């Protein structure tokens, strides 16, 4: 059996335990900082994803509106084309009718 622990052995054990405690405290502090940074980064990524989703929805709505505007302009041009064609045809028929009646 071993004898009782001396005061010097106890002090040495105490110093080693305190050193180990300080080392582990530093490691825990470092770990806590990294966990907090990771949490902040995760929140930022979540906000970014939400913003990107909102931008995608707005872009889709703008695309739909742009298609409607492009179709409207095309329909207007086609309608105007028919009016011009009708006017020219009417002039030509009027000219032919006038020529035949003289």
Tell me: pLDDT of 102 over 80.
no
pLDDT band of residue 68 (cuts 50, 70, 90) is confident
pLDDT tens, residue by residue, 17-33: 999 999 999 999 999 99
Cα-based distances in Å from 84 to 28, 51, 77, 88 = 83, 49, 10, 6
The pTM for the full model equals 0.53
């Amino acid at each position: 059996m071993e004898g009782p622990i001396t005061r010097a052995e106890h002090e040495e054990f105490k110093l080693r335990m305190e050193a180990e405690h300080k080392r582990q405290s530093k490691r825990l502090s470092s770990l806590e900082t990294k966990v907090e940074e990771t949490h902040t980064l995760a929140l930022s990524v979540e906000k970014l994803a939400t913003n990107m989703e909102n931008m995608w929805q707005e872009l889709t709505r703008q695309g739909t509106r742009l298609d409607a505007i492009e179709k409207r302009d095309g329909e207007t041009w086609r309608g105007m084309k028919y009016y011009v064609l009708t006017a020219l045809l009417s002039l030509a028929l009027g000219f032919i009718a006038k020529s035949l009646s003289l």
